[in-house]
Structure 1
C-alpha cells in the first residue's frame, strides 16, 4: 500500500494525499487553486480525497461560470 497518491481531476494533477503518521488517514496537499479549499484536510481514504477534489473543482467551475461576464 502506497503512502502518497496523486489526485487528478479531468486529467489534471490537482494535488496529492500523503498517509499520516497514524497509518490510517491521508492529508490532502493542494497544487491547484481550485482545490485550495480542501488543502490540509484529512481523509480516511485516497478515494475520499479524490471525490472531495472533484467536488471542489466542480463548485469552482460553477462559480466561475456564474460570475463570468456575458458576451454582448
Structure 2
C-alpha cells in the first residue's frame, strides 16, 4: 500500500459518509490543508494526524506480518 492508496481510500470513505473536507478536518482536529495533502497521497503526511483522520471516519487499521500473509 502506498500513501496515494491511503489518500484515495480516505477520500472515498469521506465522500461515502457525505462529508466535505473541511468537516472531516474539523472532526479529526487537523487542518484542512493537511487533509487535502493526505487525500492527494503526500508521502510525508504525519502518522498521528493520519490516524486521527481514520479514527474520525470510524476506520480501524489491521497490520499483518509476513507470516500472516498469503504465500
**Normalised by the size of structure 2, how large is the TM-score?**
0.28
> Which structure has the larger Rg over C-alpha atoms?
1
**Normalised by the size of structure 1, how large is the TM-score?**
0.28
RCO comparison, higher one (Cα < 8 Å, 6+): 2
Instruction: Decide which structure has greater helix share.
Output: 2
